[in-house]
Amino acid sequence: DTVYAQHPGFQPDVAPLMGQEAGPVEELPEELRGSQWAFVELELGELIEEARSVREGGLFGDALDVAAFAEEMGLPLNTPVPGVVALSQRAAAVAAWTSGIEVVALQADDTRASLVMEANVSTRFRYATWPRNDAAADDEAREWTQAKAKAGGLHFLALQADADEDVVGFWALRDIKLPRA
């Protein structure tokens, strides 16, 4: 073990990256695109179970140790955790392609009326959009961002074929502020 691993603040699920300027927002590649999306939320206890399914290999995706993070942050199991659900008839294929990139976080950008997916070190995709000048949609995006802050930056992305089917891809995510290089 390294010296850093012995540090009380060590987080084994966090990639050791130095901050870089975020790249420009690019269009989402077709193979990563769903047909519909929505802001949603799960209670922390449910998120822990979904993350466990991913960690055990039951779903496409990636998940930090949500239970350990929640304990460290002192979050109760009934804490609402915001997320995004994307629907696609090609959900399994979209989930497989999405597994090929390192999804870092999702950010609601109400100035661009878009949901931005941060991936890898400096890649950003316009994951979804909502109508410009739609006050209700802008408010929903701001509320989603506020809920994310209340959950310690914890959030998720789920992929399904349709709303009545099981999740086929799941990413438990967390906002991380990296030091600037």
User: At CA 47, angle to CA 169 and CA 171, rounded to 5?
Assistant: 30
Q: What is the CA radius of gyration of the chain?
A: 16
Q: State the Cα–Cα distance between residues 66 and 147, nearest whole angstrom.
A: 16
If you average pLDDT over every residue of the chain, what do you get? 88
Domain ranges of the chain: 20-173
- Residue 1's pLDDT is what? 46
- Residue 117's pLDDT is what? 96
Residue 120 has a CB neighbour count (10 Å cut-off) of 13
Question: Using one digit for the tens of pLDDT, what is the confidence trace for 118-130?
Answer: 998 789 999 999 9
Q: State the Cα–Cα distance between residues 161 and 88, nearest whole angstrom.
A: 5
Q: State the Cα–Cα distance between residues 142 and 112, nearest whole angstrom.
A: 13
Question: Using one digit for the tens of pLDDT, what is the confidence trace for 1-56?
Answer: 456 666 676 676 665 554 456 678 999 999 999 999 999 999 999 999 999 989 89
| 105: amino acid identity, one letter | A
Q: State the Cα–Cα distance between residues 16 and 134, nearest whole angstrom.
A: 39
Q: Which of 54-58, 65-69, 111-115 has the lowest mean pLDDT?
A: 54-58
Does position 179 have pLDDT exceeding 60, yes or no? Answer: no
| 160: amino acid identity, one letter | Q
Specify whether the CB–CB gap between 41 and 83 falls below 8 A. yes
